[in-house]
Amino acid sequence: MRLRRQVAGRCQVSLREDVRVIFERDPAATNLLEVLLTYPGLHALLLHRVAHYLYRRGVPVVPRLISHLNRFLTGIEIHPGARIGRRFFIDHGMGVVIGETSEIGDDVTLYQGVTLGGTGKERGKRHPTLGNRVMVGVGAKILGAVTIGDDAKIGAGAVVLSDVPPRSTAVGVPAKVVAYREPDGSNRRVENLPDPELEMIASLRRRVEELEARTQRLEQLLREMGGYPHNGGSAPPCDDRQPSAPVNLGPTPGEDT
């Protein structure tokens, strides 16, 4: 009887925390009834706690059935074996996947489309570990048994394949750390945000400039040899041209000089 009261008390505390954190992190939350009835992240978390409780006690099949029902009702798939800390918040939630050996600390926030997945078929620890106060942006993928440090942020669409230090921000594919937050709250930039499209355009522009320079050198050499129309003149017939020594146009871009 005492154990039941303790369990019931912990559940009430957890539910109050879960509701309170929704009001703290989602400005769209307006009233308690709306949160209880219309927030799939809250529903998914409550169902997961039931499934996880049964999973830890070795109950077969039923935890996976609850997880399957959870996915059907909320669009959020959480394996019963995943360990989730307090004040966990999933905003919107559609498409979120949390693998079996995932570990999530306290005060973590995930947005829609986030995947905490594995990278192979090996058994044992194969899913990510998220520290406390971690934020994972829309559509980010964290794959493998990597560790995301406390207070870290993962940018939208990032693909994380290695550990991310505490108080850092990682973005890109694959994800790279681009900033650190100091304990006083200030940010320290590591590098500019990667922009693959801008880098490709810059590379093409450099190539065009190199080709234009080579073309101008070729035209100048042909004019000097009298074999290129100049000032309205016409080039001599091909049969009348005399063979000449090869013309050095300079090194080809990318070749060693």
What distance separates the 2 farthest-apart alpha carbons in the chain? 112
163 with 214, same domain?
Answer: no
Q: Is residue 238 part of a domain?
A: no
pLDDT at position 186, please? Answer: 66
Domain boundary among 131, 164, 189: 189
185 with 205, same domain?
Answer: no
Q: Which two tokens stand for residue 89?
A: 């918040």
pLDDT at position 3, please? Answer: 45
8 with 94, same domain?
Answer: yes
Q: Is residue 66 part of a domain?
A: yes
Where the chain has pLDDT below 70, the residues are: 1-13, 184-195, 227-257
181 with 224, same domain?
Answer: no
Q: Is residue 236 part of a domain?
A: no
Q: Is residue 249 part of a domain?
A: no
Q: Is residue 103 part of a domain?
A: yes
- Please tell me the chain's helix, strand, coil percentages from 3-state DSSP, rounded to the nearest 5: 35, 15, 45
62 with 181, same domain?
Answer: yes
Q: Is residue 237 part of a domain?
A: no
pLDDT at position 257, please? Answer: 47
Backbone angles phi, psi at 206, to 5 degrees: -60, -40
Partners of 110 in the beta sheet? Answer: 90, 136
Specify the pTM: 0.68
Q: Is residue 239 part of a domain?
A: no
150 with 202, same domain?
Answer: no
Note the pLDDT tens digit of each residue in 56-67.
999 999 999 999
Note the pLDDT tens digit of each residue in 76-98.
999 999 999 999 999 988 999 99
pLDDT at position 198, please? Answer: 79
Is the Cβ–Cβ distance between 98 and 79 less than 8 Å? Answer: yes
Give the CATH number, domain containing residue 29. 2.160.10.10
Domain that holds residue 55: 2-189
Tally the domains of the chain.
2
Q: Which two tokens stand for residue 71?
A: 């996915």
185 with 66, same domain?
Answer: yes
101 with 210, same domain?
Answer: no
pLDDT at position 54, please? Answer: 93
Of the candidates 60, 54, 94, 101, the residue with the CA atom closest to the CA atom of residue 79: 101
Q: Which two tokens stand for residue 234?
A: 């016409």
204 with 155, same domain?
Answer: no
Note the pLDDT tens digit of each residue in 5-33.
555 556 666 888 989 999 999 888 888 99
Q: Please tell me the total number of residues recorded for the chain in this structure.
A: 257
Domain boundary among 189, 215, 250: 189
185 with 201, same domain?
Answer: no
CA dist 209 and 234 (Å) reads 28
Q: Is residue 135 part of a domain?
A: yes
Q: Name the DSSP letter for residue 57.
A: T
151 with 49, same domain?
Answer: yes
142 with 72, same domain?
Answer: yes
